[in-house]
Structure 1
Amino acid sequence: MAGMLTIHVLDTMHGCPAADMQIQLWSLTLSGEHEQRVLLKTVHTKDTGRTATPLLQGEELVVGYYELLFAVHAYFISRGLLLPNPPFLDLVPVRFGIADVEAHYHVPLLVSPWAYSTYRGS
Structure 2
Amino acid sequence: MSTLSTHVLDAEAGRPRVGVPVRLERGGEVLAEGVTDDDGRLRFAHGLTPGVHRLVFEVDTPFYPEITVAFRVTADRPHLHVPVLLSPFAYTTYRGS
The TM-score with structure 1 as length reference comes to 0.73
Secondary structure of the corresponding residue to residue 84 of structure 2? strand
Offset of 1:56 from its aligned partner? 4.3
1:39-58 pair list within 5 angstroms: 39-51=30-42, 54-56=43-45
Greater than 3 Å deviation, 4+ residue runs: none
Is residue 57 of structure 2 the alignment partner of residue 70 of structure 1?
yes
* Alpha-carbon distance between aligned partners in 1 of 2:76 and 2:39, rounded to the nearest angstrom: 26
Larger Cα Rg: Structure 1 or Structure 2?
Answer: 1
Structure number with higher strand proportion = 2
Q: Which residue of 2 aligns with 1:80?
A: none
* Alpha-carbon distance between aligned partners in 2 of 1:102 and 1:13, rounded to the nearest angstrom: 32
* Alpha-carbon distance between aligned partners in 2 of 1:56 and 1:96, rounded to the nearest angstrom: 18
* Alpha-carbon distance between aligned partners in 1 of 2:95 and 2:53, rounded to the nearest angstrom: 14
Identical positions, percent: 36
The TM-score with structure 2 as length reference comes to 0.90
* Alpha-carbon distance between aligned partners in 2 of 1:119 and 1:91, rounded to the nearest angstrom: 17
Q: Residues 106, 68 of structure 1: CA spacing in aligned structure 2 closer, same or farther, 3 A cutoff? A: same
Aligned length: 97
Q: Which moved more, 1:98-107 or 1:108-117?
A: 98-107
Structure number with higher helix proportion = 1
Question: Gapped runs of 5+ residues in structure 2?
Answer: none
RMSD: 1.6
